[in-house]
Structure 1
């Protein structure tokens, strides 16, 4: 087996993995749950929730103020809050452009004709103003807009409401430079009877967003949640339509994901909460409910939760809730990807360029795997040198397969050759290649990150296809350096056209990924030349005779 074949096997394994993943996405059955079934699913503790903002058209009781939106601006967030319910109905991230160079802030949450993505929270229960038996409360705000001024560290946006002697102040607390928002309810029971309320918070999104994953950029758009026993679980919209989530946990969190960004509700981490999902009117929601709270006459109480909306910053997310950082989904190789991501960011801190950081981490990884690469090439060279003897044994025992096996093993033992020596190093390296792939795909730090010259976005494809062509040329040189022992004309043609096929395939890959593969090929070429020179000194043939 030639080294080039091993590299091609690794590449083909990656391609096969992506194809398999995309096939699952495209062919997975789409369950259609009748509305009556959805209602029955929702009865598991969620029937008292008002899911959408469609009820905003209904008149509010016990208030003379009409619902309106309040604009809030901080250094990292621009959002709008509807005074009906105090829901976040629009949220933009000014530090992240939707399209590079156009200056348009990334719209994470929005409410448009045919599409809705909002964050709702409120109080349900016997006396909760957001209970489905009541219309959503319309809060009173003293201002129509709030801005975190330069130099200020905190911005508090208070909304007030009173119904039947229960005074509610829904307070949003923003911090400078932070994407997490503290949402608190300051409750005062001014009546003569005990008031019972239960806090909830959920994220609502139209299920058919029209944004699809692709094989070149496999992304997940849907829900996720974490419990005290399972730190991270995906809960796709299809899963919601089939069966609603109902999980009891201490602490926990719920989220909606879209590639580089996440919105999440994190309830009180010290209480027993109920995580849920439900689907109504083409919208899916995932949320959390806290325990019911009794407020004695004349007493006060404070309930709170944390809302996050922003980039998938692993370090910050890990500090908000246990497992929330896993929304940066590296898949089953996360335990390899996370250290590689740490190494990548550490390098970037020195070179101050993500493209250079990719080159450096490729050098480090390939250098660390050099001993395995050397074992692989030497093992394959030994197998090539044994080929005449293997051919002789195969000719001698061509009619007796039972004797051929022991004879081959005796030959390997006598010549001190491991027939698997060329494959095992490759199998060890493959998880590292895949883990690095997911680091480059999932890391928001690479989004719109420039490299040099014409490559101004490492998360997008090369606009002039220079890197895919260079990758193909490097692959062709590797083939020339290590010609394969393939005698079948058809196989020879397939292998000859393999660099072209891979170059075409990589045309749509993010340029950061292609840069990694191109640099990896260059390093492999240098390692092959060095290793082959050493093997020739030992009398081992490195090329086909």
Structure 2
């Protein structure tokens, strides 16, 4: 089940990266489609407005528009993370139930034992209202995706961006400096996301902590710097969102979970691993003593011979 959660989380991340350009169609090298017409094109025009009409340049114009877009969808990100944090805190509280079952699953010697432990874990999660997918909902992602896609394509296709320079960086060519910054930001965010988790959950998330920045490096390494600059601003917002989750949302969810289980105590005994039956004979001590006496008598007979 833990492996399934990791695969699910990895799939979401990969899907987000691959679908950024999928919401906007390209025709003859130019973006088109409903998402581009209603979101992407206004974003591109806003970038040009700040760059040309306000004289701020395309780098600053792109940053401003990305900030505006991220602020618009920020509540959705917090909502999604709030649900995930709620289920994470439930798992923390119920670790005395889940940890022994996970240990039995890990140490199962037969497939039957493993299946029984998995079923027991599913039953325990359902009984206590813990989502097997960690509370990560698809709807907030689907709502945010057109915005991400539109600003991504706007950053990649606004003509002035490719021909401009920002802080000495040619925005029309790949930038190793910006790629390194993106990797660092997403590593920090991934590290921060493990805050407040128990050791078992942290062990499960270690792979994701390295996978996310590696995937971002692969995604931005060959991209033009204007697109990478978009990911830099996005990484900063991810860190901001994680700070809100760690120091405002998580304490509230922790208190909520404690109150819920105080009103409706968890069923600790029902899902405890059953103790192994003691099959040692009650007269084992007497049998052992009898064997020792027999050996002594045999030894005495051999000496008398």
Q: Tell me the TM-score range normalised by the shorter chain.
A: 0.5 to 0.7
C-alpha contact 1:14 1:434 (8 A) present in aligned 2: no
Residues 1:521 and 1:444: Cα distance change in structure 2 (over 3 Å): same
Aligned partners of 1:421 and 1:494: how far apart in 2?
15
Q: CA deviation at 1:510?
A: 0.7
Match of 2:192 in 1: 481
Q: CA deviation at 1:493?
A: 4.3
SS of corresponding position for 1:329:
strand
C-alpha contact 1:377 1:422 (8 A) present in aligned 2: no
Count of aligned positions: 229
Aligned partners of 1:375 and 1:525: how far apart in 2?
16
TM-score (norm 1): 0.36
Give the alignment of 1:437-516 within 5 angstroms.
437-452=152-167, 454-456=168-170, 458-462=171-175, 465-483=176-194, 485=201, 487=203, 492-493=206-207, 495-516=209-230
Residues 1:493 and 1:421: Cα distance change in structure 2 (over 3 Å): closer
Residues 1:501 and 1:404: Cα distance change in structure 2 (over 3 Å): closer
Q: CA deviation at 1:473?
A: 0.6
Aligned partners of 2:179 and 2:220: how far apart in 1?
6
Whether 1:355 aligns to 2:59 is yes
Q: CA deviation at 1:354?
A: 0.8
SS of corresponding position for 1:461:
coil
Q: CA deviation at 1:20?
A: 9.3
Structure ranking higher in strand proportion:
1
Structure 1: stretches of 5+ with no match in the other structure: 22-218, 221-233, 235-256, 260-327
Q: CA deviation at 1:428?
A: 2.0
Q: Deviations over 1:178-231 (max 9, x none)?
A: xxxxxxxxxxxxxxxxxxxxxxxxxxxxxxxxxxxxxxxxx97xxxxxxxxxxx
Q: Deviations over 1:459-479 (max 9, x none)?
A: 2212xx110001101011111
C-alpha contact 2:22 2:149 (8 A) present in aligned 1: no
Residues 1:364 and 1:350: Cα distance change in structure 2 (over 3 Å): same
Aligned-residue CA RMSD (Å) = 4.3
Whether 1:526 aligns to 2:240 is yes
Indicate the structure whose relative CO is greater, using CA pairs within 8 Å and at least 6 residues apart.
2
Residues 1:6 and 1:339: Cα distance change in structure 2 (over 3 Å): farther
Give the alignment of 1:315-464 within 5 angstroms.
328-331=30-33, 333-334=35-36, 335-348=38-51, 349-387=53-91, 388-389=93-94, 392=97, 399=116, 411-412=128-129, 420=135, 422-452=137-167, 454-456=168-170, 458-462=171-175
Q: CA deviation at 1:532?
A: 2.0
C-alpha contact 2:155 2:230 (8 A) present in aligned 1: no
C-alpha contact 1:460 1:509 (8 A) present in aligned 2: yes
Residues 1:389 and 1:441: Cα distance change in structure 2 (over 3 Å): same
Find the partner of 2:249 among 516, 523, 535: 535
Q: CA deviation at 1:515?
A: 0.5
TM-score (norm 2): 0.60
C-alpha contact 2:174 2:223 (8 A) present in aligned 1: yes
C-alpha contact 2:58 2:164 (8 A) present in aligned 1: yes
Give the alignment of 1:218-237 within 5 angstroms.
none
Aligned partners of 2:144 and 2:193: how far apart in 1?
20
Residues 1:480 and 1:357: Cα distance change in structure 2 (over 3 Å): same
Aligned partners of 1:497 and 1:338: how far apart in 2?
33
Give the alignment of 1:193-272 within 5 angstroms.
257=28, 259=29
Q: CA deviation at 1:539?
A: 5.7
Structure ranking higher in helix proportion:
2
Q: Deviations over 1:244-298 (max 9, x none)?
A: xxxxxxxxxxxxx4x4xxxxxxxxxxxxxxxxxxxxxxxxxxxxxxxxxxxxxxx
Give the alignment of 1:255-294 within 5 angstroms.
257=28, 259=29
Q: CA deviation at 1:537?
A: 4.2
Q: CA deviation at 1:379?
A: 1.0
Find the partner of 1:12 among 11, 14, 37: 14
Give the alignment of 1:143-222 within 5 angstroms.
none
Q: CA deviation at 1:344?
A: 2.6
Aligned partners of 1:538 and 1:430: how far apart in 2?
28
Aligned partners of 1:425 and 1:390: how far apart in 2?
28
Q: CA deviation at 1:350?
A: 2.4
Match of 1:517 in 2: 231
